Chain A
Amino acid sequence: MSDLLFEAKSLCRDFKLNRTAISGARPVRRAVADLNLKIKTGDRLGVVGESGSGKTTLAKLLLNLDKPTSGSINFKGQQLSNSDMSIFRREVQIIFQDPRSSLDPRRTVEQIILEPLECLNFQQDHQSQTNKVLQQVELEASIRSRYPHELSGGQRQRVAIARALAAQPSVLIADEPVSALDVLVREEILQPLSELIESLNLALVLISHDLSVITRLCKTVVVMQQGRIVEAGNTQGVFANPQHQFTKDLISAVPRLPTL
């Protein structure tokens, strides 16, 4: 029943750094190192790690917004670099972390949501799809004419979700979708997001350093450290019985409420 969507093999991404010495090769930072990953329909994969662990680079590689230095990514059996982008991009969409910078401040909400519909040649009526998707994220239609700076952080992030869902993708990649939001607002975003993913049967790749968000939305998880996957498995299994030291450190670092 589950189709294989993404398959990454020995994925590597190196970044050349500025020269620190006059002679010799430029130093290289290995953002993603020898990574193997499989994502199927209906998967809810969490990617956990600290900043600099390569999570966002992985997201960009999966979206073909960045090219790997070596290794391969296949989407639905075809190599990503050879795939037709207009089809691929309809299927895979992303929600970025910072709602302040992920929406063009010069465009209205309506224009922001129409953009994927236009660029991806969405077949059905664009206007009604825009309305539909705004409804799905529980935003009023009147918000269409507003600009991002007129909206609260939570509203902006919902617009970002609406934009991602507009062209009806089958895979949603969310890069720290609630980290920039206040604690109560996170709740307002996670709940509808969780429901939408269920009802639309989306595959989810959720990147976060916040373990509670991961446990909320993800069935499986991979833990990344310095570009490598150090642990992987069922969310329950990994967090209940962490094998790698880093995973253990992460879990023990979550602040606990005092027992009173």
Chain B
Amino acid sequence: MVAFSSTMALLSVFWTPYDPLEINPDISLAKPSWSHLLGTDVLGRDVLSNLLAGSRTTLITAFLVVIITMSLGVMTGVGAALSPRWFNRTAIYSIDIVLALPAVLFAIVLAAIHGPSTFTAVIAISIATSAAVAQVTRREVAVVLNSDFVLAAKACNSNKLKIVQQHILPNIRASLFIQASGAAAIAILAESTLSYLGLGTTPPAPSWGRMLASSQQYLLIDPVVALWPGLAIIITVLGFNLLGDGLREALDPTLRKSRS
């Protein structure tokens, strides 16, 4: 399973190497041919090159979002679980409030202030997703905190930092990986959506979402153009999800052992 999903994710990575053909030739809406494997779009840009370049945007976005989301989410989650009761409660409520607001809202607000760009999309998606990560993380940390081995650690005078480092993080590692890959998947979808809506990556920078948007008008003339970015999105998102599952199985020694 891991091999299969890794290949998928890797496949999209292979698309990343910068394709210099990205710059616009002037052949408009051509059918797939040897010089343009996937045809061209309305402005004559090579679809394949755009797809490849768009993958860069997508993956960078996903990467950034994951890093920001996980850092923010995990720190909030761990912090909330470890802190005294009243702070814990406050944190939970705050997280719930953030959760209630969709990423699109953040994106709109940010876009209004700074103008739409990949960057604003990244920030918006990160804030929204980190709330979910924080919530799950907090719960998991609370469970680990309740366990006997943490109690044993306290009984030999371990301090909070050591406990987090040595006991909590390793035990929630599997969950974090799944959440990270889930966040990546969400990020890709979200970025595509925002770009589609015009709130993310702006032209002429390539992005799968925008490709979908621009091809929408010409759906009746050349539906195939919409197909490629859509497929790309689906495959990558699926790949990340499967990768997360595979990683979890591979990383959890107890899960593996219990098979026998």
Contacts and interface: CB of A to CB of B under 8 A. Distances in A.
User: Is A in direct contact with B (CB under 8 Å) within the complex?
Assistant: yes
Interface string A56-93: 00000001010000000000000000000110011001
B136 interface: no
A96 B151 contact: yes
Contacts of A115: 153, 156, 158, 166
Contacts of A102: 148-149, 151-152
Contact of B254 (A105, A111, A160): A105
A119 B158 contact: yes
Contacts of A147: 253
A116 B152 CA distance: 9
B3 interface: no
Nearest to B144: A104
B114 interface: no
B170 A94 contact: no
A252 interface: no
A238 B167 CA distance: 43
Nearest to A63: B155
Contacts of A163: 152, 156
| Interface size of B as a range | 20 to 34
Contacts of B154: 65
A220 B151 CA distance: 27
B33 interface: no
Contacts of A107: 166-167, 170
Interface residues of A, number: 29
B35 to A, nearest CB: 55
A249 interface: no
A94 B157 contact: no
Contact of A167 (B156, B253, B258): B156
B171 A120 contact: no
A120 B152 CA distance: 13
Contact of A119 (B149, B162, B257): B162
A105 B152 contact: no
Given A101-B147, A149-B257, A150-B257, A120 B156 contact: yes
B49 to A, nearest CB: 46
Given A102-B148, A102-B149, A65 B171 contact: no
Given A86-B157, A119-B157, A101 B257 contact: no
Contacts of A85: 157
B148 A120 contact: no
A62 B258 CA distance: 37
B149 A103 contact: yes
Nearest to B152: A102
A167 B152 CA distance: 13
A195 to B, nearest CB: 23
Contacts of B151: 65, 96, 102
Given A101-B147, A105-B254, A106-B171, A119 B156 contact: yes
A94 B162 contact: no
- What 5 A-B pairs come out closest when comparing CB atoms? A116-B156, A106-B170, A102-B148, A89-B157, A104-B149
Interface of A: 63, 65, 85-86, 89-90, 93-94, 96-98, 101-107, 111, 115-116, 119-120, 147, 149-150, 160, 163, 167
Given A104-B166, A104-B170, A119-B159, 8 more contacts: A65-B155, A85-B157, A104-B167, A104-B171, A106-B171, A107-B166, A107-B167, A120-B157
18 contacts: A65-B154, A96-B152, A101-B148, A102-B151, A102-B152, A104-B167, A104-B171, A106-B170, A106-B173, A107-B166, A107-B167, A119-B156, A119-B162, A120-B156, A120-B157, A149-B254, A150-B257, A163-B156
